């Protein structure tokens, strides 16, 4: 049934954090003192670094000293190790915290007791966006990090000096953050807990909308409704770049005041599309870019897989709408060879190539394994660590089907992340379904046992992919002595 989004405002049950009336405003021309509870996280540290560059006084706490906290200290931040109420000294103007921080946290409780203004990480990011002429948000169930990184490479090729915050390590910027000029801000926009509803974009890219984060969202309809609310944050001056491959995309864009630009597989339904897609010996695609069904240039990608053709089309559409010449777009995409943990080559051991990939959703897994088929190998091994019990239970059949793309699957125990096991679900269950479907699966709970199994069974010429959003990367790194 089609949802009438235009006339549905009064009955919405969805939370829109971005409409808080008491939001503390962050203005770059009025630098203040900001305290971060959990300053060492990859996202929090990036935001702290931007504020440092803008002249703010930055302090915060974390459990342990890390490379990220040392980097912040070298740039002038004051970091306390261990979270205590006494860390909140006089003169702090606003406190920032993540969803992992609970009200009984001593610093959170102290900030509340003092009546200090408080922002979530997402709210801070949204406030920071207000300080840029163009705030480009990249959203979707998957592909956000890669597409944001592609855009960053394009903007760098065009000398547009972007500020970038990305959810992985991008070699071109030497990390997950780049502080640039006041015109362009490129950021991932995550849907989990409706974080992206705290943002203030001038341009959005929506790559895809699939069932995920079902520990927070009720179902796919719930997720789609949140993405619709996200799209509604754009006014008549904004631009929505959206995949025409999204199911019932028409209901996502109906009645929006902003400009809508489409990309996708069908050139008749998409302003930006690709034709004559071919792959080199390592599975890297090249294609003819079509704009309004007319050839507009030849694109060569430095990353693998058909899914990256469509990630690149989203980046191309956004860049073109922002005035980047096609030649610079092509140059930037050619230079992009991937972000950290996105089909990242870790090394070789005994003639076995070890790759690491962040894929943790069935569609991502299927895309990565399909891309790997084009990479030279004898046998394709996938060491998969499911991420969260709720995702595993909700998408069990889809996981098994996607993992059939590997010749051999090794299943580690589920990475719990923020959850406890109340569902009685196990990685073994995925293995049983793979076996029932005619595939080969091995449930091996511990990393040490997995490493031994790999050394005993992989042979020269095999391709081994460690896969998941948890800490499965440690398996390959230990084998390689990294």
Contact status, residue 299 vs residue 287, Cβ threshold 8 Å: yes
The Cα–Cα gap between 363 and 150 comes to 20
> Beta-carbon neighbour count of residue 63 at 10 Å?
11
> Which of 141, 145, 147, 148 is labelled catalytic?
145
**Distance between the two ends of the chain, CA-based, in angstroms?**
53
Of all helices (H) and strands (E), which one includes residue 447?
helix 447-457
In order of 188, 237, 313, the CA distances from 320 in angstroms are 19, 16, 10
Alpha helices, H only, 290-411: 306-321, 326-335, 362-372, 389-394, 396-403
Sequence-distant (≥ 6) Cβ neighbours of residue 18 within 8 angstroms: 126, 197, 198, 199, 200, 233
Cα(418)–Cα(437) distance, integer angstroms: 31
Catalytic residue status for 49: no
Q: Are 477 and 394 in contact (CB under 8 A)?
A: no
H-helix segments, 86-193:
106-114, 121-129, 144-157
Residues 6 or more apart in contact with residue 174 via CB below 8 angstroms: none
**CB within 8 A of 145, min separation 6: which ones?**
166, 167, 168, 188, 339, 342, 358
Catalytic: which of 54, 107, 123, 188? Answer: 188
**Cβ(37)–Cβ(108) below 8 Å:** yes
Would you call 145 a catalytic residue per the annotation? yes
To the query of whether residue 188 is one of the catalytic residues in this protein, the response is: yes
Sign of torsion over alpha carbons 67, 73, 76, 80: positive
Hunting for tokens 């098994």 — which residue is that?
400
Greatest distance between any 2 Cα atoms in the chain = 64
Beta partners for residue 136, in sequence order: 186, 203
54, 141, 144, 368: the catalytic one is 144
Strand order in the sheet with 272-279: 175-178, 163-170, 184-188, 134-139, 203-206, 239-243, 259-263, 272-279, 285-291, 294-300
Six token digits for residue 429: 């269950």
269 vs 113: CA distance, rounded Å: 55
What are the tokens at 146? Answer: 């890669």
Active site residues: 144-145, 188
């Amino acid at each position: 049934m089609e949802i009438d989004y235009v006339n549905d405002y009064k009955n919405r049950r969805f939370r829109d954090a971005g409409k808080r009336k008491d939001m503390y405003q962050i203005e770059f021309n009025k630098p203040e003192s900001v305290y971060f509870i959990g300053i060492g996280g990859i996202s929090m540290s990036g935001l702290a670094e931007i504020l440092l560059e803008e002249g703010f006084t930055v302090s915060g706490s974390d459990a342990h000293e890390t490379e990220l906290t040392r980097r912040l200290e070298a740039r002038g931040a004051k970091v306390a190790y261990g979270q205590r109420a006494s860390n909140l000294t006089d003169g702090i103007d606003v406190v920032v915290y993540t969803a992992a921080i609970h009200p009984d946290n001593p610093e959170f409780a102290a900030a509340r007791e003092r009546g200090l203004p408080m922002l979530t990480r997402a709210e801070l990011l949204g406030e920071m966006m207000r300080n840029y002429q163009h705030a480009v948000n990249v959203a979707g169930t998957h592909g956000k990090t890669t597409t944001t990184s592609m855009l960053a490479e394009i903007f760098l090729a065009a000398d547009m000096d972007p500020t970038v915050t990305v959810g992985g390590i991008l070699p071109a910027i030497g990390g997950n953050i780049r502080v640039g000029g006041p015109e362009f801000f490129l950021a991932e926009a995550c849907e989990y807990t409706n974080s992206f509803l705290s943002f203030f974009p001038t341009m959005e890219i929506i790559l895809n909308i699939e069932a995920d984060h079902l520990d927070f969202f009720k179902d796919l309809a719930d997720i789609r409704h949140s993405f619709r609310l996200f799209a509604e944050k754009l006014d008549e001056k904004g631009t929505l770049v959206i995949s025409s491959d999204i199911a019932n995309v028409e209901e996502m864009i109906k009645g929006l005041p902003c400009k809508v630009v489409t990309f996708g597989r069908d050139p008749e339904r998409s302003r930006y599309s690709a034709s004559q897609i071919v792959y080199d010996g390592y599975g890297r695609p090249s294609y003819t870019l079509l704009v309004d069904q007319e050839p507009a240039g030849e694109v060569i990608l430095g990353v693998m897989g058909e899914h990256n053709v469509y990630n690149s089309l989203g980046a191309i559409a956004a860049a073109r709408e922002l005035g980047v010449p096609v030649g610079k777009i092509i140059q930037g995409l050619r230079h992009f060879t991937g972000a950290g943990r996105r089909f990242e080559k870790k090394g070789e051991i005994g003639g076995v190539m070890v790759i690491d990939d962040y894929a943790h959703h069935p569609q991502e897994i299927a895309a990565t394994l399909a891309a790997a088929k084009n990479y030279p190998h004898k046998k394709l091994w996938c060491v998969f660590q499911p991420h969260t019990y709720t995702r595993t239970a909700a998408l069990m059949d889809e996981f098994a089907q996607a993992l059939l793309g590997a010749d051999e699957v090794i299943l580690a125990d589920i990475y719990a992340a923020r959850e406890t096991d109340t569902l009685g679900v196990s990685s073994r269950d995925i293995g049983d379904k793979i076996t029932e479907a005619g595939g080969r699966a091995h449930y091996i709970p511990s990393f040490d046992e997995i490493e031994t199994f790999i050394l005993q069974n992989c042979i020269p010429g095999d391709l081994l992919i460690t896969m998941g959003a948890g800490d499965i990367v440690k398996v390959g790194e230990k084998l390689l002595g990294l």
